[in-house]
Amino acid sequence: MKLKYNLSEDRIRQLKMERDEKLYYAIPYDIGENGRWIDDGMCVVTSENVAAFEGDRLVEKLPIKMCCRTRAEAAVGAGMLVTEYGALENKDEKTSEQRDAAHTVTEKLIVRYSAKHRTRFAYIARGINILSGGRTEEVVSKEYESVCEICGRIIPGTKECPYCNKKGGFWHDFLGMLAPYKKSVGGIVCLMIMAAVVTLLNPEIQKHLVDDVLTKTNGDIKKALWCIAGMFMLGGGIVVINVLKSYYCTVLGARIAADKRDTLFKVIQGLPLTYINDRRPGELMNRVVNDTRVIKDFMSNTFCNLFTVSFIFVWDVIFMVMLNPKLALFSFISVPLAVWGTLTFRESIHRRFHLQGKKDDDISSNLQDVLSGIRVVKTYGKEQKERQRFNRFADEYCRVAFRNERFWAIFNPTLRFIMGFGIFLVVLLGGMDVLNERMSAGELLQFVTYTTLLYQYLEWMTGMPRDLTRLVASMERINDVLIQEPFIGEEEKPDRHEIKGDIEFRHATFGYKSYQPVLEDINLKVKQGEMIGIVGPSGAGKSTLINLLMRLYEIDDGEIFVDDIPIRNIESRHYHEQLGVVLQETFLFTGTILSNIRFAKPDATYEEVINAAKLANAHDFISAMPDGYNTYVGEKGSTLSGGERQRIAIARAILKNPRMLILDEATSSLDTESEFLIQQALERLIKGKTTFAIAHRLSTLKNADRLLVIDGHRIAEIGSHEELMEKRGIYYGLVKAQMG
């Protein structure tokens, strides 16, 4: 994401930069001082100043040293860059009490921007804070732009706009994709050309039949038979060629798609988690499933006819001009009309049926809503009202569907008629030529056939650009994944470190979206073997803290140390291998209990598995099942209770013998009996290992050495149970609330 836009000479002059003043950032903003849209706002940050321009007018210039704490504040549908403006005597003392006492700072609005620039301003705010703190690093954004600067289109999650990116170009990529399949592509191209030749040859024979046999008074039956035999063979030939062509194209398409899918899957597995997490869930799945399907469809539907149609089209036109230039001109006259008609009609149809689809969705989602909430509807006696609502949606759909069908029924034949209009003209004028003996009847027939062919393929040709763009976008999305470097965010030579268990968070700041921090400035030191309980309201960042520790995300600012080694210097696969994780929702893979327990250590002996299950209090219930450890679980397997699944997950963690444990609400939503069993199992597991445990039920944290209360994106309280109870803060409130 671009953080340094170009500045005009005039603006630079107005900044009156000192000699060693350096330009850091320049980014646009779009809401003016009067609260209206502007398109020429620019916020500029140099090593000395923060400035804002509206057009060429300098509207704000603040010394950066006075901007104590700058942030991109979210508003509804917009955002503002706000700073605590003023001189702080000691910049390290930034607690609110001291600020209040000093009263030298005021909150100051620098600029306002719409949500479009929100992400950029989050980076700028961070950049300003670094500079005002006396450091000189420049913040760089690795995020992709979401809108193409050139064409203004939305970029479909790739680095470059697929419509404007001409580097190498589409044909380069496309041919590159076909390169490994040279032989079959060559065969298909041959078939395509054969199909075109045969199609074009047929009218030529028809001409001979008419001219040399039918219109002659003494027609030769032998010649007629030859012609008919020729036509029959060509007719049969085209069927064979087309079948072969379609067959090979489909096979090729399926093979390319399968190969792409394979490579994609391989690459995705090696991708850094940050890349996967940056994308919406399902997006990568779409790339593997849908985008490869687009390629397959293109190969079997469009590519299959690509050369045939283009070839026929070109020669068709050439033959027509050669046969009768005047007539050709006349039949071309209605071509633009037909193209225009087809495009408008298609667009209109697309809009109409899209609308119909939307109405259909409305019905489904309404139905889904009511059916899943049927108990609420019934208990509140609202059946009548819901029925009326549903009727309204259904009527609406009916109205739209009726209108669309009528439109289709009227306009489709009309359009075909208009498109066939050229033929009438050709027959009329050509017929006159034949009567005046300027043209033979056979030639007219040939010409008419060519004209029909021309219009027949016209419709196909107008659909080409759409198919091509769809293919380009899909290829772009696939290539975007393929060019990713695996495991970024890891140092060059990562350390294969054996975790001892000393953990330190130093000024750790992180947000899933860059403009919205979830954790701010977390500082925490944990000694080896300590158990840390994490409590706090939902959404405060408990799970996020753990995600950072599990290295599922890269932190934005600050550093996490494991045994005094920065976490990013540790080889991540090796790091993950040493973690034991038990989550609230236990995920069991489709397979047997044995394979699930062995997941982390596939070569574990039966003995080890049984031992782990015993420690996890799982052995007894597993033994009681008819298939024992070979019991099939997962999507279609036998159903285990939440507590049983949980204990299998614990067995899985125990078997791995992890060096550090992470428990995320491992015992919530279980009955007391299984909670006791699990608690017991966990205690065995935890012994001597650094443990982080999140829990809502505070009783489960009674063994914790220290408790960490997270609130408002920060560590609000930290200490042992007794210390926190004495403090009578948030934790005290929580305990009181749970005791009732």
Partner 1 sequence: MSKEMINVEAERPMATDTDKSKTINSGNAVFTKTEGGFIGMELDGKKYDRVKVIRLFPFTDPDKYMSVRDVMDGDKEIGIIEDIKELPEETVKILLEQQELYYFTPVITKVISIKDEYGYAYFDVETDKGRCKFTINMGADAVSKLSDTRLLITDVDGNRFEIANVLDFTVKEQRKLDLFL
* Binding-site ranges for partner 1 (CB under 8 A): 31, 35-38, 74-78, 80, 82, 85, 96, 99-100, 106-109, 112, 114-116, 118, 146-147, 152-154, 351, 354-355, 358, 469-470, 473, 516, 536-539, 711-712, 730, 733-734, 737
Which bin fits 551, alpha (ψ -120 to 50), beta or left (φ > 0)?
left
Nearer to partner 1, 148 or 201 (CB): 148
Whole-angstrom distance, CA of residue 44 vs CA of residue 11:
10
CB 73, min distance to partner 1, A:
9
In contact, 600 and 656? CB cutoff 8 Å: yes
Nearer to partner 1, 412 or 469 (CB): 469
In contact, 131 and 96? CB cutoff 8 Å: no
At which residue do the structure tokens 């608690």 appear? 679
Whole-angstrom distance, CA of residue 2 vs CA of residue 144:
9
Q: Compute, in degrees rounded to 10, the torsion defined by CA atoms 149, 151, 157, 162.
A: -120
In contact, 327 and 426? CB cutoff 8 Å: yes
Question: Count of CB atoms within 10 A of residue 243's CB?
Answer: 11
CB 538, min distance to partner 1, A:
7
CB 53, min distance to partner 1, A:
18
Whole-angstrom distance, CA of residue 540 vs CA of residue 712:
6
Q: What angle do CA 87, 88, 89 make, to 5 degrees?
A: 115
Longest Cα pair distance anywhere in the chain, in angstroms? 121
CB 468, min distance to partner 1, A:
12
What sign for the dihedral angle of Cα 211, 215, 221, 224?
positive
CB 347, min distance to partner 1, A:
9
Nearer to partner 1, 366 or 452 (CB): 366
CB 350, min distance to partner 1, A:
8
> 531-535 and 690-694 as β-strands: parallel, antiparallel, unpaired?
parallel
Backbone φ and ψ of 491, nearest 5°? -65, 165
Alpha carbon of residue 233 to chain centroid: 52
Nearer to partner 1, 69 or 598 (CB): 69
CB 512, min distance to partner 1, A:
12
CB 1, min distance to partner 1, A:
13
Nearer to partner 1, 516 or 605 (CB): 516
CB 520, min distance to partner 1, A:
12
Nearer to partner 1, 422 or 536 (CB): 536
Nearer to partner 1, 147 or 258 (CB): 147
CB 79, min distance to partner 1, A:
9
Q: What is 503-552 written as a DSSP string? A: EEEEEEEE-SBTTB-SEEEEEEEE-TT-EEEEE--TTSSHHHHHHHHTTS
Residue 474's alpha-carbon distances to 165, 299, 347, 469, in angstroms, are 14, 13, 22, 9
Query: How many residues are listed for the chain in this entry?
Result: 740
CB 184, min distance to partner 1, A:
30
CB 37, min distance to partner 1, A:
4
Tokens found for residue 73: 């504040």
Alpha carbon of residue 469 to chain centroid: 18
CB 723, min distance to partner 1, A:
19
| 523: CB partners within 8 A, 6+ apart | 505, 506, 507, 508, 715
Nearer to partner 1, 648 or 724 (CB): 724
Query: Three-state DSSP class for 495?
Result: strand
Read off the amino acid at residue 215: T
Whole-angstrom distance, CA of residue 506 vs CA of residue 671:
38
Nearer to partner 1, 236 or 733 (CB): 733
Residue spans of alpha helices (H) in 209-272: 221-270
Which residue(s) pair with 112 in the sheet?
A: 31, 80
Nearer to partner 1, 265 or 512 (CB): 512
